[in-house]
Amino acid sequence: MKLQKTISVLTALLLTMQCAVLPAWAESAEPVPAGSYQINPIGSDLLPEDLPEPEGEQGETLFVEQAAVYYTTVEDAADAIMDAMKRREAAISVGVTREVYDILNSTDAHPHNVLFDAACEHDPDDPTAGDYTGQLYHYWQSDATSWNGNNATIVYHVIYRTTLAEEQLVDAAVAELVAQWTAADMEPYDTICTIYDYITENVVYDYAGLDAGDLHVYTAYKGLIEGTAVCMGIANLFYRLAMEMGIDARMIHSIDRENHTWNIVELDGLYYNLDATWDLGTNPVAYNYFLLSPEIFGIGHNRRSDYDTAAFHQAYPMDTVGYLPFEGSDSGTCGENLTWTLTDEGILSIEGTGAMYDYNFRRNGENCSPWSPWTAKITGLNIGEGVSYLGNWAFMECVGLDSIAIPGSVERIGSGTFAFCEWYTELTLSEGLQHIGGMAFYGSKIDTLNLPSTLQTIGSQAFSSCLRITELTIPENVTNIGDMAFSYNTSLETLRILGDLDYLGVQAFSWCYPLTRVEFHGGVPGTWWSGLFSENDQDPVIYAARSDAWTPYEGTDGSLLWNAPDGTAYKFEWLDGEETPGDLTGDGKTDEDDAAMISAWFAGMYAEIPFDPEMADCNGDGKFTRADGMYLARALAGWEGYTLP
């Protein structure tokens, strides 16, 4: 069989030499390139070895049916391939002249890949080509190039993710929507909103199809006809609908570790990011990821390299701010004596005096902040001196903020006021602030957190999931730390609590994995709710300045231990350089030995006072007398009205 094949090839070569001029590389004995392949990188776990063996080997000339037409430009050959893909042809044969093939062969990539990629290039005049059909193949393979004189034939074998019949259903459904929207005679911004609303209201994320390996989940067909899809299918659908309505768009793929797809869309000569997948199912429709600049688009949207070249950015210039549907500014009231203004550059200003109104969680859809439709596009926030209270959920999901500054006039911050803002790294809280509400800064990415000395209460989950804080100091005037107030701070290593706490909440510092040092510079709370440091990598070592509500003891290994109010035994150490009032013997605890030392001094057993007289003023009368020894002894005995210093 191999001999017959060799004879056939030699015979064909002789015949070719008699009737046509050989290609230049045949004359120079350069081997004919083998076929190539391409696997759709989104939604495929195929490997090259999973593909069937293509026909033809390196250096072999195949005698296949020659193309009827040999195209003289790359563009014409690419158009022919795209037309065949629209017809869902499984084997696409395309002929090109030697000049065209030389152009395809002039890059580092395989010429077959270069031509196929050219076929899938974005076409602003054809909604069914470009990113639409060009993203609907699962994989293709090509045979070795077949030559007929100076003309080459390339055969692509393509597997698609939809059938021709399914695409015909899409065409009909799209035509119906386009007719309805065209009749409404909308401006481009309103058209984009309408398409976005349609997708986010009518498509749900297809977890089941994704798990089952259904290739349809990556297609507009699945989203439009069946109402379910994953990000690539949703982006494919938005692209098709936008292009049909005369609005230029592209599909953008993320880097491999994110494996995500979204769109960019053109408005007034500039392009904006939007991600309908991440806004699916919100009621009313949320615009958290709608018409945003790259700077504020957030994590999970890092472009694959081919969408991040200088040439791509030149072809699709992005605005540096999010798109706002007004020129100049929009404004209104947000308190009895407060007004707000939002400029088209994304700067939100709050001016006036007194308290801001409270608002609802934005996804509830009722009584939300008046700037809530544009929160993701707010890039700057100016809060004027005179504002005393920032309302509940007022600035939630302002993901475009890179810094937040709270003036000294603000005494209280409400619940969820800055929740889910996520990306800012600089937070300034001025002296004068007294109360921080629950979830006020939930989900922030703060590098450092400096709490003002005037602060008194910190609400539940107020700083939960602020992932970059490594050290935290709770000021002396804080008396109440709410449940889970600092939970999920997965970078926190050192905690300092300066004052006396009345309440230290459930799991207040749980899931702070690297937390190893906790300092109590004031009194350790007598009440300690469960799970304070639960789910951490290890129990932190407790450091304290005094022991007024508890007593450390020596462990079996000689280390000092202390049983917390929740029953957990923590390793314990005294803070360096700190003195414990009443601890006259210096053993780290206040007990009968300290009372005996006072009595011994008054009995003349010490020539010099071996302790600080101020520390020995146990009854608080401002002087050191024998009464202090009696007071301390009675306090140790538990007499009513006597407390340990």
CA distance 446 to 424: 7
| H/E segment holding residue 380 | strand 380-383
Of 293, 315, 337, the residue that ends a domain is 315
For the beta carbon of residue 23, count every other beta carbon within 10 angstroms: 22
Give a yes or no: residue 621 inside a domain. yes
- Please, where are the H alpha helices in 60-187? 74-86, 98-104, 111-119, 130-133, 164-183
Give a yes or no: residue 385 inside a domain. no
pLDDT the model gives residue 548:
66
CA distance 113 to 91: 16
Q: Which of 92, 68, 76, 101 is nearest to 141 (CA)?
A: 92
Give a yes or no: residue 411 inside a domain. no
* 279/207 same-domain check: yes
CA distances (Å), 49 to each of 45, 55, 197, 400, in order? Answer: 11, 15, 42, 45
* 184/293 same-domain check: yes
Q: Note whether 136 and 160 are within 8 A (CB).
A: yes
CA distance 457 to 463: 12
* 128/268 same-domain check: no
pLDDT the model gives residue 361:
83
pLDDT the model gives residue 521:
87
* 77/213 same-domain check: no
For helices 231-244 and 164-183, the axis angle rounded to 10 degrees is 50
**Structural domain that includes position 604:** 592-637
Q: CA triplet 304, 421, 354: central angle to 5 degrees?
A: 155
* 7/156 same-domain check: yes
Q: Note whether 67 and 73 are within 8 A (CB).
A: no
* 23/140 same-domain check: yes
* 135/256 same-domain check: no
CA distance 188 to 190: 5
Number of domains in the chain: 3
Residue 145: beta bridge partners? Answer: none
CA distance 375 to 265: 19
pLDDT the model gives residue 104:
95
Q: Note whether 150 and 97 are within 8 A (CB).
A: yes
Contacts of 85 (CB under 8 A, 6+ apart): 92, 119, 133, 134, 136, 137, 158, 160
Q: E strands along 114-235, which residues?
A: 137-142, 146-148, 151-160, 204-205, 228-229
The pair phi, psi for residue 572, each rounded to 5°, is -135, 145
CA distance 26 to 30: 6
The residue length of the chain stands at 645
Helix (H, G, I), strand (E, B) or coil at 307: helix
For the beta carbon of residue 219, count every other beta carbon within 10 angstroms: 29
Chain-centroid distance, C-alpha 309: 23
Give a yes or no: residue 322 inside a domain. no
* 146/282 same-domain check: no
CA distance 472 to 495: 5
Q: Note whether 550 and 574 are within 8 A (CB).
A: no
Q: Which of 371, 416, 368, 410 is nearest to 396 (CA)?
A: 416
CA distance 492 to 478: 19
CA distance 507 to 534: 7
Per the omega criterion (within 30 degrees of 0), is the bond before 31 cis?
A: no
* 32/101 same-domain check: yes
For the beta carbon of residue 296, count every other beta carbon within 10 angstroms: 22
The position carrying tokens 């302002």 is: 398
* 149/180 same-domain check: no
Q: Which of 366, 371, 280 is nearest to 325 (CA)?
A: 371
Q: What amino acid occupies position 402?
A: D
Q: Note whether 516 and 539 are within 8 A (CB).
A: no
Exposed (0-12), middle (13-18) or buried (19+): which is 514, by Cβ within 10 Å? middle
Chain-centroid distance, C-alpha 177: 33
CA distance 510 to 302: 31
* 155/208 same-domain check: no
Give a yes or no: residue 83 inside a domain. yes
Average pLDDT, 10 consecutive residues per value, the chain (645 residues): 34 33 35 78 78 54 62 96 95 94 93 96 96 95 89 93 96 97 95 96 94 94 96 97 98 88 96 94 77 82 92 94 87 96 94 96 77 87 97 91 93 95 84 97 90 96 92 94 94 93 91 93 76 88 77 80 83 69 67 77 73 75 78 75 72
Q: What's the pLDDT tens digit per position in 167-218?
A: 999 999 999 999 999 999 999 999 999 999 999 999 999 999 999 999 999 9
* 11/148 same-domain check: yes
Exposed (0-12), middle (13-18) or buried (19+): which is 28, by Cβ within 10 Å? exposed
Q: Note whether 419 and 443 are within 8 A (CB).
A: yes
Contacts of 266 (CB under 8 A, 6+ apart): 247, 248, 249, 316
pLDDT the model gives residue 60:
43
Going by their DSSP bridges, the two strands 91-97 and 70-71 should be labelled as parallel
Give a yes or no: residue 42 inside a domain. yes
Q: Note whether 404 and 381 are within 8 A (CB).
A: yes
CA distance 113 to 580: 77
CA distance 385 to 387: 6
Q: CA triplet 70, 73, 78: central angle to 5 degrees?
A: 85
444: left (phi over 0), alpha (psi -120 to 50) or beta: beta
Helix (H, G, I), strand (E, B) or coil at 71: strand
Query: What is the per-residue DSSP string for 450-487?
Result: ---TT--EE-TTTTTT-TT--EEEE-TT--EE-TTTTT
Q: Note whether 587 and 593 are within 8 A (CB).
A: yes
Q: Note whether 77 and 120 are within 8 A (CB).
A: no
Give a yes or no: residue 612 inside a domain. yes
Give a yes or no: residue 519 inside a domain. no
The position carrying tokens 């999010």 is: 322
Of 282, 315, 348, the residue that ends a domain is 315
Of 258, 289, 315, the residue that ends a domain is 315
Residue 553: beta bridge partners? Answer: 561
| H/E segment holding residue 562 | strand 560-563
Residue 450: beta bridge partners? Answer: none
